């Protein structure tokens, strides 16, 4: 049997990894190990806690790990570079983080072409060692992880109710038959998925009944082209903060894992704490690991908003049915003037172009049975407007493969559909809006592709009586909103963005 040492400074890494989460380490361990089981396409996930051994045990019947994945599972250097195969968990992160409060992790895995096991522990000289072993608990394909906590670090979930509380808090839609059916239809998970807690199967829970929801609304979320990509449930619960803690509003989930809650900048007043809304959107999985800076530079925020904005619209429509006045975007002369100002300074501030995505004129392809250009269809389109006096249809077209559902025509060299170039211009650019929101203390903020300026903020009210002062305030508010948005998750926040934007504006 081989013996391996985690030679890098694992102490700092496991502490840094744990600090990324807003909940306790023992909870992180359980949540991330279950995430890896879901990534492995498990249909049975058994979770138990052995009080005598002070051990958490998670066993699944998923695909198991191959030899390379088993090495990465133990490799601290891999860190957060790669997620598990399904996307909602990082390879072995739960086991790695557990060494903040555990002194041993026993792992077994069996896949199609590999079987392995390890005893991972801390030696007295503070070295972290893992020894190769033979699996003996697994009866078939899958993975079993046992985390033996230190005697002084007993987790909060010591019984079935405690384990279920954690699972419901983080994986709520996986227990509702309606969402399970949706997962099956979308080929995300097998709808027969089953959790076992301390040896007993967990019953499915109808969330509408569980929280005694009134004003109930079930929503199938669709793209502008009518393609279904999400499922939602909205209602008023019989108690405040039904999912625990201080979480209210729209709970966003991807692949069954709850990732955030959001009010979409709405203020429902007395209804707020009782709102229960859950939306499952598998497509959000592609944005979980993207840093804010890459999110902007790679244009992923536009793809994200294509999924995110319709959810907000459904939420606001439901609030209106409830009798709540919703906040709507206002576009006026000042908005359009500010947008023109931003275009003028974009050459000096690249982040402006990255954030908004400016119009882009280029030659694109359109079908033409008589043409000589060959092309093929690719998934995704970017909506455009005709440009110039050449061949334009006077209606919106497509620029090429982009964020929206549909197909775009691209050039091929090996034959295919014939096409001809047509001049098109992308429908993008800065979007500024004004919102009268006395309930919100912020001067400005980012909402999707919009920068929202709060007309109820004292600084806005004071500046609105003087033309030039008002424009100065509004430009500063825009810079403040974008800087805070970019800095929220950046490793090294750019604290000089506002200064550069204001200097560029002053020069122009």
pLDDT of amino acid 394: 41
Measured over the CA atoms of residue 135, residue 136, residue 140 and residue 146, the dihedral's sign is: negative
CB atoms within 10 A of CB 485: 20
CATH number of 333-356+430-507, picked from 2.60.40, 3.30.70, 3.30.160, 3.30.2010: 3.30.2010
What backbone torsions phi and psi does residue 314 show, to the nearest 5 degrees?
-65, -40
Measured over the CA atoms of residue 167, residue 171, residue 176 and residue 181, the dihedral's sign is: negative
DSSP tag of 416: -
* Segments making up each domain of the chain, as ranges: 3-158, 203-322, 333-356+430-507, 361-426
DSSP tag of 393: -
pLDDT of amino acid 39: 92
What's the CA gap between 232 and 182, in Å, rounded?
10
> Taking the model in full, what pTM does it have?
0.74
> In sequence order, what are the residues at sequence separation of 6 or more whose Cβ sits closer than 8 angstroms to the Cβ of residue 497?
349, 351, 479, 482, 483, 486
pLDDT of amino acid 413: 56
CB 32 within 8 A of CB 97: yes
pLDDT of amino acid 284: 86
467: burial class by Cβ within 10 Å (0-12, 13-18, 19+)? exposed
Report whether CATH 3.30.230 matches the domain 203-322: yes
Comparing 3-158 with 203-322, is the CATH topology the same?
A: no
pLDDT of amino acid 30: 96
pLDDT of amino acid 353: 77
What backbone torsions phi and psi does residue 47 show, to the nearest 5 degrees?
-120, 130
pLDDT of amino acid 381: 55
CA separation, residue 383 to residues 8, 223, 404, 472 (Å): 49, 13, 8, 33
- Please list the pLDDT of the chain residue by residue as tens digits (508 residues): 578 776 556 677 778 777 778 889 999 999 999 999 999 999 999 999 999 999 999 999 999 999 999 988 888 766 554 444 446 777 788 898 999 999 999 999 999 999 999 999 887 657 788 899 999 999 899 999 999 999 999 999 999 999 999 999 999 999 999 999 999 999 999 999 999 999 999 999 999 999 999 999 999 998 877 889 999 999 999 899 888 776 778 999 999 999 888 888 888 888 889 999 999 999 888 776 555 555 555 556 777 878 888 999 999 999 999 998 887 777 778 888 898 888 888 878 877 877 776 655 555 555 555 555 565 555 555 555 444 433 333 445 555 655 555 566 666 655 555 555 555 555 567 789 998 888 888 999 988 778 999 999 999 988 876 667 899 999 999 999 988 888 876 667 778 889 999 999 988 7
Alpha helices, H only, 133-176: 160-171
CB 173 within 8 A of CB 253: yes
Alpha helices, H only, 1-118: 10-19, 25-39, 67-74, 93-97
What's the CA gap between 442 and 454, in Å, rounded?
7
- CATH code for the structural domain at 3-158: 3.30.565.10
């Amino acid at each position: 049997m081989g013996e391996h040492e985690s030679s890098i400074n694992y102490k700092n890494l496991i502490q840094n990894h744990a600090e990324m989460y807003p909940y306790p380490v023992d909870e992180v361990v359980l949540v991330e190990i279950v995430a890896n089981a879901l990534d492995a396409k498990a249909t049975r996930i058994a979770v138990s806690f052995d009080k005598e051994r002070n051990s958490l045990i998670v066993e699944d019947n998923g695909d198991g790990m191959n030899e390379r994945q088993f090495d990465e599972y133990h490799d601290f250097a891999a860190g957060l570079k790669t997620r598990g195969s399904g996307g909602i968990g990082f390879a072995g992160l739960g086991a790695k983080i557990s060494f903040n409060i555990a002194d041993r992790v026993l792992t077994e895995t069996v896949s199609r072409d590999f079987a392995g096991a390890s005893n991972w522990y801390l030696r007295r000289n503070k070295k972290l060692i893992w020894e190769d072993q033979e699996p003996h608990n697994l009866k078939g394909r899958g993975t079993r992880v046992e985390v033996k906590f230190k005697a002084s670090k007993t987790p909060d979930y010591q019984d079935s109710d405690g384990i279920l509380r954690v699972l419901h808090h983080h994986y709520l839609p996986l227990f509702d038959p309606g969402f399970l059916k949706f997962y099956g239809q979308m080929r995300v998970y097998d709808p027969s998925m089953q959790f076992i807690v301390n040896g007993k199967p967990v019953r499915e829970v109808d969330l509408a009944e569980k929280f005694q929801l009134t004003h109930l609304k079930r929503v199938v979320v669709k793209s502008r082209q009518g393609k279904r990509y999400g499922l939602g449930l909205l209602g008023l619960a019989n108690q405040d903060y039904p999912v625990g803690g201080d979480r209210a509003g729209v709970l966003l989930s991807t692949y069954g894992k709850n990732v955030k809650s959001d009010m979409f900048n709405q203020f429902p007043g007395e209804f707020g704490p009782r709102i229960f809304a859950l939306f499952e959107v598998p497509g959000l999985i592609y944005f979980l690991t993207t840093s804010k800076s890459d999110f902007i530079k790679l244009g992923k925020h536009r793809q994200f908003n294509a999924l995110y904005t319709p959810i907000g619209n459904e939420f606001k429509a439901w609030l209106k049915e409830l009798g709540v006045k919703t906040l709507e975007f206002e576009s006026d002369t000042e908005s359009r003037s500010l947008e023109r100002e931003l275009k003028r300074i974009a050459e000096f501030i690249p982040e402006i172009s990255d954030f908004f995505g400016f119009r882009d004129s280029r030659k694109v392809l359109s079908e033409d049975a008589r043409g000589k250009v060959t092309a093929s269809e690719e998934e995704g389109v970017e909506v455009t407007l005709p440009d110039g006096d050449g061949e334009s249809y006077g209606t919106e077209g497509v620029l090429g493969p982009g964020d929206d559902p549909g197909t775009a025509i691209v050039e091929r060299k090996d034959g295919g559909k014939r096409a001809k170039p047509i001049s098109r211009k992308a429908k993008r650019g800065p979007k500024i809006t004004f919102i009268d929101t006395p309930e919100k203390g912020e001067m400005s903020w980012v909402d999707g592709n919009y920068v929202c300026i709060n007309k109820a903020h004292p600084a806005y009210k004071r500046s609105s009586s003087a033309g030039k002062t008002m424009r100065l305030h509004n430009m500063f508010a825009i810079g403040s909103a974008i800087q805070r948005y970019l800095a929220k998750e950046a490793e090294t926040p750019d604290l000089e963005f506002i200064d550069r934007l204001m200097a560029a504006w002053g020069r122009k």
